Amino acid sequence: MSATELIKQAAALSRQERTLFEQLLRELENGAGTPGQADRAKWPDFGQRLHDIYGDKVAPDSQSIIDEGRGDR
């Protein structure tokens, strides 16, 4: 959609709808993101949590465990 088409469609809106459209447009310009984005839950960093618990440990001979789980044995 071109800018001209957008302006024409915005002009065709009722006063209340146009006001709401302008508010949402200003929020996007100010970097507020999409409407409702602030309501989303912030997920924890699972990778960091695992690193905090186990550190840099590597399971010894983990290839045999992987093969057994796959049924390669």
For the stretch 20-49, pLDDT in tens is 988 988 888 887 555 555 567 788 888 899
Contact 27, 35 (CB under 8 A): yes
The answer to whether residue 72 scores a pLDDT higher than 70 is: no
- How high is the pLDDT of residue 66? 80
DSSP category for residue 35:
T
Reading the block at residue 9, the tokens are 């469609």
Q: HSE-up of 46 (CA within 13 Å, CB side)?
A: 1
> In one letter, which amino acid is 71?
G
pTM of the model: 0.39
Domain boundaries defined on the chain: 1-33
DSSP category for residue 13:
S
